[in-house]
Chains A and B, each alone.
Chain A
């Protein structure tokens, strides 16, 4: 290891066009040949910092040094030229192109001066795949290959371009256990060959297992860099959030009543003919929170989309209060008393350039309370909005402010305030606290419990294991489109959940059937 750090970022600040500061005066340094963890809560500014290092975003101020030499990265191209490679959380692959075409994109080998040499592209891909023991099929279309394989293609892309420093942005979030194990093996091998790896994660066990040093980020600032061996997981987590990770949530025992949501034998096959749901059945009763746990990509997305009428199931039915919701429009679903906190709040949850007032009443704009004859009752809208802004502690200048000027947590509060105040019989909460600050998270979780205790049926889908374990009265684990576990005794812990979520354990059919309450 040489003395000069291979990457140094000094005094980096980044303010986004909506005025939100994502990084504030961050210092970050990585030594050659190490695996360096970058940790922090969702939204702590890790991804922004790495996007700056990779030339995707320009810092508002600060300097970057590579091998001690000051650089400015106007584009990823400049970063690539300096040996920086990045594997993004959401894969940067072109689905309709083959693996080899993706690998050589932007540097395609030529023959007779102007045409792509496809043979050479395949050869190059195979050469690198062999050198690093990556198992990929160069001629397969990217749309057809598995998630694990896509990630390998991403890493290959960086290596083929001569990357010496590899940034991996939450690489294990989408992987199965085996795939994660294999990834770690490959990362170790890369390290042994002299590559430097920056590993972004918020999974503390992975960081302990894999990395040499760790830099912790908190609310846009660097909270310190440590040798991984020298800090405990508890210390890291305390530095990450500034208080204990586990939020103590007070919860009275549920007193479930009649069934509100009944899902029966649901099947779904996606457009690439992958079976995403394989006959799942369960009930959610009035007054209880049913949690769905599972590694992302095991059917949760499809389940929620079917529940909200975005896609139709191949087979099976969904009933709300005994009424089949097949072919029901979103409006009809809402009229039946279904509320929905969407995972992708920017796409489904809000209209960015409309005001908070306008966003907060979007589901009930036609109600008599907000209309006087043909005209809207602006005063009633304003008052309702003001009331909800206070009730949900939405931090804003006024109800007339555009929603997209708010921070992520406050945007989510706007969504939740609307959905929770609609007098719902059934709430489908899909990743309700993803990527938002602790304060907002706490508020949303408490509201969710209050609503269920007041008589709403709640279906909580979350990739945050702590969240589902804390909030749920009973818990369903999805794996590979099947329900592999149902728990209603409150006696669960993360080790046990992990085994089910990763497909190591599976309950018997009889045990799973308990999820349906006659």
Chain B
């Protein structure tokens, strides 16, 4: 009985958290927008419907763009799920997306491979490079006991600047005004699913497939099992004879791999050249997604959709009503704070527990609580 009530409670709590986050957004909209109701409309339903001459129609183009926007963040979300599940606060996903895109992009420019194979090889190698980079914080954690969090934060900058160095000095297309690589070969592009401007590529399908694969990995293999047990209680995992050090390393390598693949799919699916001159922010969004998904890979696409939707809403709000699109970061921060709040609405939770316990005691009768357990004093 308690389990069912707890599930209901958790759903309610998530909904309330999201509501609060949107409320914060609404407050800022009313502070800044000249036409707040219109802004709010664009934010909340803009991506979904189009209002024209009083008639409401489904906004296919916008929705396709929302889906296209999910590709990199599903990957980074999955990456964070795996690393956070092992209790590894590795925040280098951000840098890995960048390096992944760069490496994938370079292979897209310089290698000659048949279509279809080309982007896959590029993405695979991008993923491998990033997983190798993740060995730095992972090995330092395991061998030296250095905090993977601080190392990974520094590593983001190192990855950015090293890539920028190579981009500028070796791979830049000098014929262009801005710093960018030469154009990708046609064989290297990740094919679009729908023609048009939405840029919804097969990378999106790959992201969904990987959600399933990562879910199976986490919940249906012994390695995923070990990773989760390490995250819940590392001492227990060690005591049970699991290879704790090894799995800590593996979890971070998988995190790097997925982030790097996300970057590569993104660049080969939606761009013609590699031209990022700063970290793209997908790594941080991935953290929000993992929090929303409660580290469950199966829930990642849904969480990614939610954020991509809000992001698109913010864009629309920005172009139509001049509310800066960076609003998305404020909403994300608010979601973050409320959603990760374990004790949020804890008073209500405790009431449910007490009520259930009382009912169960009554049912058992006071005389016999032999194994019911008063021994936690």
> Which residues of chain B from 339 to 359 have a CB within 8 Å of any chain A CB?
349-350, 353-354, 356-358
CA distance A20 to B371 in the complex (A): 11
CA distance A60 to B351 in the complex (A): 10
A294 within 8 A of B: no
Scoring B357, B369, B377 by chain A CB atoms within 10 A of each residue's CB, the highest score goes to B377
- Please tell me the size bucket of the interface on A: 35 or more
Q: Is the CB of B229 within 8 A of A407?
A: no
Instruction: Give the residues in chain A near B221, CB-CB below 8 Å.
Output: 374-376
> Which residues of chain A from 42 to 74 have a CB within 8 Å of any chain B CB?
42-49, 60
Q: Is the CB of B236 within 8 A of A348?
A: yes
The smallest C-beta distance from B170 to any residue of chain A, in angstroms, reads 40
Interface string of B355-377 (1 = CB under 8 A from A): 01110110000100111111111
> Which residues of chain A from 361 to 382 have a CB within 8 Å of any chain B CB?
362-363, 365-366, 370-371, 374-376, 378
CA distance A43 to B376 in the complex (A): 6
Instruction: Give the residues in chain A near B354, CB-CB below 8 Å.
Output: 15, 60
Known: A15-B357, A348-B239, A354-B229. A22 touches B222 (CB 8 A): no
Q: Is the CB of B239 within 8 A of A342?
A: yes
Instruction: Give the residues in chain B near A47, CB-CB below 8 Å.
Output: 377
A297 within 8 A of B: no
CA distance A135 to B353 in the complex (A): 48
Known: A21-B357, A340-B239. A376 touches B225 (CB 8 A): yes
Q: Is the CB of A409 within 8 A of B371?
A: yes
CA distance A216 to B129 in the complex (A): 66
Instruction: Give the residues in chain B near A60, CB-CB below 8 Å.
Output: 354
> Which residues of chain B from 165 to 217 have a CB within 8 Å of any chain A CB?
216
- Determine the residue in chain B with the shortest Cβ distance to A422: B241
Number of A-B contacts (CB under 8 A): 147
A440 within 8 A of B: yes
> Which residues of chain A from 8 to 37 have a CB within 8 Å of any chain B CB?
15-24
Q: Is the CB of A20 within 8 A of B374?
A: yes
Instruction: Give the residues in chain B near A285, CB-CB below 8 Å.
Output: none
A245 within 8 A of B: no
A331 within 8 A of B: yes
The smallest C-beta distance from B79 to any residue of chain A, in angstroms, reads 20
Which of A308, A374, A408, A440 meets B376, CB within 8 Å? A408
Which of B237, B353, B373 meets A410, CB within 8 Å? B373
Interface string of A264-285 (1 = CB under 8 A from B): 0000000000000000000000
Q: Is the CB of B353 within 8 A of A43?
A: no
Known: A48-B377, A376-B222. A437 touches B232 (CB 8 A): no
A507 within 8 A of B: no
A350 within 8 A of B: yes
Q: Is the CB of A333 within 8 A of B236?
A: no
Known: A15-B354, A350-B233. A20 touches B373 (CB 8 A): yes
Q: Is the CB of B374 within 8 A of A351?
A: no
Instruction: Give the residues in chain B near A219, CB-CB below 8 Å.
Output: 369, 374
CA distance A353 to B360 in the complex (A): 22
Besides A20-B373, A335-B241, 18 more A-B contacts (Cβ < 8 Å) are: A20-B357, A21-B374, A45-B377, A46-B377, A220-B369, A330-B241, A331-B241, A348-B236, A351-B229, A354-B232, A362-B229, A363-B241, A366-B222, A375-B221, A436-B375, A437-B371, A437-B374, A439-B370
What are 29 sample pairs from A and B whose C-beta atoms fall under 8 A apart? A15-B357, A19-B360, A20-B357, A20-B373, A22-B376, A42-B375, A42-B377, A43-B377, A44-B374, A48-B377, A49-B377, A60-B354, A330-B238, A330-B240, A342-B239, A347-B233, A354-B229, A354-B232, A358-B228, A358-B229, A371-B222, A376-B222, A407-B374, A437-B370, A437-B371, A437-B374, A437-B375, A439-B370, A440-B371
Q: Which residues on B are within 8 Å of A, measured CB to CB?
A: 2-3, 216, 220-222, 225-226, 228-229, 232-233, 235-243, 349-350, 353-354, 356-358, 360-361, 366, 369-377
**Nearest 6 CB-CB pairs, A to B?**
A407-B373, A43-B375, A220-B374, A362-B240, A331-B241, A351-B232
